[in-house]
Structure 1
Amino acid sequence: MKPRRRAPPHADDEQASSPRARPRPLAAALLHVSGYDGFGLWMTLGLALAVGVYPAGRGDVLVPISLGAALVAIGLLAACLHSRWTPHWHGWVIGKGSRPTRAALVALACILPVLAVAGLARGDNAFWATRLSGAAMSLCGLCSLIVTSYADARRQAPDMDSRLATQLPLSRVVSATYGGGLWLWLCSAGQDIDDAALHPRAWIIGLLALALLRGLVESLRWQAALQRVGRPRGRLELQPGRYLAALLVYALPCLALLLMNFSDGWLALAALAAVSCTVGMATELSLYDEALAALPGGP
């Protein structure tokens, strides 16, 4: 009688995540979206600093940097506490002797240019070192979003179609830029940035354009996923949650942007837009995971 082969380490984890991971609950999706919104906030701020269009002021730079750090740290803290919603951070199970994954290392590397920008922000953001650090922060944020999106796709659906996998980084970057831009708008509205430095019309046009671009990208991604669903598509296409997500991601933020020129309550409008968009994208992400689970070969 042959001796029974011993199962390799983490075999249960691999078996549990293959071939399809179960859809994330809304709380886990919310932590996930908050994390890449934080990177999107850093990326947007760094791009504005590099181009030289962001208003001068040390506090005007430190506040969005701190808010982005808070959005990113929520998921990291949940992973440190081994929350059932977020047991790992970009695949890294913290505190159990495991090494950081490549995606986690890339995400952690973004902290270096963020600290450089925070240290160089002295009131005059036209300083060449500040602009260079802003460009590095924006580039690192972009790289992190791309790398972590591929890693997330492999974790959630290891046998995902290659076409769907290549669409995820573009969707993640556009979504993070849109969500991060709304959070940056909240920081600007709370600090009473002078209209002459950054006119409200620039916020309106830029964020509305990002909302339109995101709607187009997400529509193409949903259609590509639903075309591969083995069961009837009607239940997934006509989910009430998708209409709720569209209301939270597009309708409420765009309405807040359009009301910006007719109201003095910038802070309330910006807070409504940013929070609504984050919750809506989390709802949409949870529904998209359900669509992936319905693909042929899923559970």
Structure 2
Amino acid sequence: MHSVNGDPATPPGGLAPMLLEVLALCGYGLWMLLGLALALGIYSPGRGDALVPLALGCVFVSAGLIAACLRLRTLSEWHGWQIGRVQRPTREALLALATYLPMLALAGLVRGTEDFWTTRVLSLVLALCSLICLITSAYGYRTRRLADQAGVAAQLPISRVLSACYGGGLWLWVCLIFQADLPASSEESLPWAISLLLLAMLLGLVDGVGWHSLRGSSLGERWQRPPQGLQSWRFLAAALICAIPCLSLLLVPVLPPAGRWLTPFAAAAYIVGKSLELWLYDFALTRFALAHPLEASSGLSRTSR
């Protein structure tokens, strides 16, 4: 497998880079949903409450940047920019850095009144910048990893946007539950729960299409027999991504007030599950394209132990 410039593609990554990538997805999803809610004027009346999700999203988004600045082995680049090795950042990295500007400006104005038009404009800009970062990072991943198999991951931009909305929505749900002190059985919590359940269903369908396209590609022709343990790991990832968060969302209204503690558990389960699924998908795309199926099978079997 080769990149666009003909250089060897990036070797398969471990779980740590995928964890940082999922954290970034949750961070951009937080900013995007919060920006839309503030722009529409439907967020919590205490406008200072928005500072917590803004800060939480900043921590999630900046985790990968900090790891790249430290030049850790687990993450040598950030949005295609090898910090410390290549002086000029990529276009994708510049867009990611530019997203910090409306976030910081919004943090300074978020305590204003709800009718302050500047706050709503900045909120909309933050939401649009976050969406653009999600799309460009998805195409950047395809360019760096899948230049000769780009059709395999045609659904990747949609999957990343849905993943960000779902993961960011779970963490925004945590902020709403604890900050606004919403009763677990309150009618205000029902729309959020229904929206997240629908997002989980859409995300499962889109990711299922991605795995199906992988089997139908030229990579899938090499992969006649799935490696031992892959299906069980995929089942575990699906349970962490959809089953546990959805079950938690349904139990929150039933178990007030202790049920609110299920929301951070659901959000954390999503991060672990999505990191595992991205690693499995990346493993299938890169390892099976370079190695003999038997070698790839033995590699995954050793990892599953």
TM bucket by the smaller chain? Answer: 0.7 to 0.9
Amino acid paired to 1:242: R
Equivalent residue, structure 2, for 1:79: 68
Contact 1:178/1:207 (<8 A) preserved: yes
Amino acid paired to 2:211: W
Distance 1:167 1:236, change over 3 A: farther
1:167 aligns with 2:155: yes
Is 278-287 or 124-133 further displaced after alignment? 124-133
1:40 aligns with 2:40: no
Distance 1:193 1:220, change over 3 A: same
Equivalent residue, structure 2, for 1:254: 246
1:276 to 269, 274, 284: 269
Contact 1:23/1:289 (<8 A) preserved: yes
1:141 aligns with 2:130: yes
Kindly report the root-mean-square deviation, in angstroms, between the aligned alpha carbons of the 2 structures.
Answer: 2.5
Equivalent residue, structure 2, for 1:115: 104
Q: Secondary structure at the match of 2:249?
A: helix
Distance in 1 between the 2:27 and 2:241 partners? 17
- Compute the displacement of 1:123 (Å): 5.2
Distance in 2 between the 1:169 and 1:147 partners? 8
Summarize deviations over 1:47-84 as a string: whole Å, max 9, x none: 11112211122331000000000001111110000011
Amino acid paired to 1:93: Q
Amino acid paired to 1:286: W
Q: Share of identical aligned residues, percent?
A: 46
Is 58-67 or 89-98 further displaced after alignment? 89-98
Distance in 1 between the 2:7 and 2:269 partners? 33
Distance 1:27 1:64, change over 3 A: same
Contact 1:42/1:137 (<8 A) preserved: yes
- Compute the displacement of 1:188 (Å): 1.3
Contact 2:51/2:107 (<8 A) preserved: yes
Equivalent residue, structure 2, for 1:153: 142
Q: Secondary structure at the match of 2:155?
A: helix
Amino acid paired to 1:235: P
Q: Secondary structure at the match of 1:160?
A: helix
1:234 aligns with 2:244: no
- Compute the displacement of 1:194 (Å): 4.2
Equivalent residue, structure 2, for 1:285: 278
Is 130-139 or 193-202 further displaced after alignment? 193-202
Is 188-197 or 237-246 further displaced after alignment? 188-197
The total of aligned residue pairs comes to 286
Q: Secondary structure at the match of 2:253?
A: helix
Contact 1:55/1:193 (<8 A) preserved: no
Contact 1:57/1:125 (<8 A) preserved: no
Q: Secondary structure at the match of 2:252?
A: helix
Q: TM-score, normalised by structure 1?
A: 0.88
Contact 2:17/2:74 (<8 A) preserved: yes
Distance 1:158 1:201, change over 3 A: same
Q: TM-score, normalised by structure 2?
A: 0.86
Distance 1:295 1:49, change over 3 A: same
Unpaired runs of at least 5, structure 1: 1-12
- Compute the displacement of 1:267 (Å): 4.0
Q: Secondary structure at the match of 2:95?
A: helix
Distance in 2 between the 1:200 and 1:68 partners? 21
Unpaired runs of at least 5, structure 2: 293-305
Contact 1:88/1:94 (<8 A) preserved: yes
Q: After TM superposition, list the pairs within 5 Å mapping 1:10-29 onto structure 2.
A: 18-29=7-18
